[in-house]
Amino acid sequence: MNLPSQPDREFEQRLASPLLEVLIRAGLILAMVLLCYRVFSPFLILMTWALILAVTLYPLHQSLAGRIGGKQGLAATLLVIIGVALIVAPTAMLMSSLGDSVYQLVNDVQNNSLKIPAPRPGVEEWPVVGKQIHEVWAKAHADLPALAQSMQPKIGELAKTALGFVASIGGGLLQFLAALIIAGILMAFGQSGGRGSRAISARIAGAARGGELVKLSTATIRAVAQGVIGVAFIQAIIVGLALLAAGVPWAGALAVVVLVLGIAQVPALIVTLPAIIYLWSSGDYSNAAAIAYTVILLVSGMADNVLKPLMLGRGVDAPMPVILLGALGGMATAGILGMFVGATLLALGYQLFMGWVATNSEAGQVRAESEAPPAS
């Protein structure tokens, strides 16, 4: 029986000791990372939104700071106050108007004073849904309380869904306001934060590539944000013109609401669908006019689905399809926040991959030149 020699045992001990030390250190680092993530995870979405807002608004912040003597903190405070005012004022107007409308509707139903006009001629001839709409409309005109009583379970479910939707919008707006305030703090310390991000990126990707990746990340976030804001402005103009053409009251105020909703990535159909209901219930439009305005308002309310692919990714050092796929895939995976994260990750991945390809190509070219026979 052969026993290991003394040198072999010493070699194993020398090998095992550093390996054990590396494993212990790796385990401790992993445990620390997991604990830090667990502590930070409740604020992850909020801080990601704050970082996106800070990166997006930082050029505007620097421009404002340059006009007030380079005061970074004051510029951030002014920017946050303006942003909060632009969000809170239209939202308060919309909520007040919606509350008054719901209160009036409840009173009319309780007092049995809500009158539904008779169905329009020709409604029954509409394709697919004409007979069903005409039947329900006629019942509502003849005896609204009886119809409401027969449909009470469905109305209850619809009311719960509507309340949940309104609550989710309110929670999203509150989170957005909190993220805007935190973004103001980040912008106030933007210069030191920029140096830190470049140092981290250089440590991960190397000094040559680190600065490029930071620039690409900030450019992608700003391009997606500018695309979202640009789409919101265009959609607000389209919806406002459609509302003006249809003669809907408060068309200008509703267009401002569409703008705010578009920036917050809330569907503009919240505004256009009640406008369509107004067109059909007011009795002031012919069937042809009501159908035409309904189509226009539906198309304008969904115009962002066409405009986003056209405007996302402009001015980024990555192909537009890469940014578009990242934004759409991220949005399908993680909602509005995923749109920014997905576009940024796919742009970084594309640049890293193309850099790797270019490096291998250059290495192959150098190798081929070195192996080529000398010219005679």
The separation between CA 42 and the C-alpha centre of its own chain, rounded to angstroms, equals 19
pTM, rounded to two decimals: 0.67
Rounded CA-CA distance 48/227 in Å is 19
Rounded CA-CA distance 252/237 in Å is 9
Whole-number average pLDDT of the chain: 78
Rounded CA-CA distance 180/186 in Å is 10
* Those residues with Cβ within 8 angstroms of residue 42's Cβ, 6 or more apart along the chain or in another chain: none
Question: What tens digit of pLDDT does each residue of 74-118 get?
Answer: 999 999 999 888 877 777 776 777 677 777 777 776 676 667 777
- HEC string for 93-147: HHHHHHHHHHHHHHHHHHCCCCCCCCCCCCHHHCCCCHHHHHHHHHHHHHCHHHH
Rounded CA-CA distance 75/59 in Å is 11
Angular region, 373: left φ>0, alpha ψ -120 to 50, beta rest: beta
Considering only residues 265 and 190, tell me which one the structure prediction assigns the higher pLDDT.
190
Sequence spans of domains, the chain: 43-188, 207-356
58 neighbors 187 (Cβ within 8 angstroms): yes
Centre a 10 Å sphere on the Cβ of residue 166 and count the other Cβ atoms it contains.
13
DSSP state of 313: T
Centre a 10 Å sphere on the Cβ of residue 361 and count the other Cβ atoms it contains.
10
Question: What tens digit of pLDDT does each residue of 307-354 get?
Answer: 776 776 666 777 778 887 888 788 778 777 787 888 888 888 888 888
